[in-house]
Amino acid sequence: QMSVTDWRSLKQILLVTLLPLPYMLHVIWNQHASVSRWHYSDALRVSGTFAYLGANEFAAFCVTMAVVLSALLIAVRLSRTWRIVVAGGLACMLLGVMWSYSRTAYIALMVGVIAVVLLWRGRWKVLVPLFAVALIAQQYLPASVVERFDSTTIEQGKRDESTEMRFEFWAIAWDNFTEHPLFGSGFHTFHHREINPMHMDTHNFFMRELTEKGICGFMITIGMLLSIVAACWRTLRAAPHGSLGYGLALGMIGAWLALMLGNCFGDRFTYYPMIGYFWVYVGLVLKAHVLRDAEYAPQTPAAAASPPRFAQPRNRPA
């Protein structure tokens, strides 16, 4: 936020965030090609450039980028060069989401893009094309992706092992919270065996905040998250339609909704490789609001406050 001094420097930072995306796609393509198969298997889940994190975390990063870039592409009046750059970055991130085989990411991406389209003032322009793309795309998705998405269910007795384990973690976390409701059991304690015999994370960011930090810490976290979306909403309402500030704010609201959904099934907020760009874009949205206010602030010439020194009164006393 402090590095941006005008719209030109804001665009420069935005461009810098897009430069690594083709390389990230290159890495995930190499990983995917080495394990590719027709039917779904857990071996297909690759993490791209996130060496010490999993496929879900990499997918969450791709979802944030994809939602923001989709908003820039449809809602901002960009030059042809910028449209090509943004569209290329969007394609990289969509493929990253697809090859991550993260069911949460699939749903979060849809929620984020739908939010962007519904909030955009010119949404009628893309409703029909978006619907057509959705119908056509499902015919060309790999069979393994379709199988992975179709396995999504929370109905008891039909859950896969990964989903079933999450319900067990949440039950343990809730029991621990009821024992320490005010301040929780302490930061980064849930995975300890004396609290969680399975020695695993809660796989739910909100539940972990509740069980480790109690009501007090949980409310602070929720307040911070709400302040982020409130700042983006203020920028969206104030920015001119079609401006860069409008597109960034619109994309970040959609990305925020996708992030909240992802946090219900894992930690999509605290790992810095995954959330770094999110904070960069929060800073750009805040700065866009400042730049917009500076442009539309009333300009009162200093000379209007007092007459020039050389001005002489019309009626001079004798």
Question: Is the predicted pLDDT of residue 282 greater than 80, yes or no?
Answer: yes
Question: Is the predicted pLDDT of residue 298 greater than 90, yes or no?
Answer: no
CA 225, distance to chain mean position in Å, is 12
Which residue did the predictor score with more confidence, 45 or 70?
70
pTM to 2 decimals?
A: 0.84
Over range 208-214, report the average pLDDT: 93
What does the pLDDT read at residue 247? 96
Question: Is the predicted pLDDT of residue 313 greater than 50, yes or no?
Answer: no
- Residue located via tokens 């810490």: 217
The encoded tokens of residue 169 equal 């973690």
What does the pLDDT read at residue 92? 96
Confidence of residue 311 (pLDDT cuts 50, 70, 90): very low
Question: Is the predicted pLDDT of residue 196 greater than 70, yes or no?
Answer: yes
pLDDT tens digits, one per residue of 226-276 = 999 999 999 999 999 999 999 999 999 999 999 999 999 888 898 888 999
Q: Annotate 87-124 with b (16+ C-beta within 10 A) or e (fewer).
A: eebbebbbbbbbbbbbbbbbbbbebbbebbbebbeeee
Which residue did the predictor score with more confidence, 133 or 299?
133
Over range 74-81, report the average pLDDT: 94
State the Cα–Cα distance between residues 277 and 135, nearest whole angstrom: 31
Over range 290-300, report the average pLDDT: 77
Using a 10 angstrom Cβ sphere, with 0-12 exposed, 13-18 middle and 19 or more buried, the burial of residue 182 is exposed
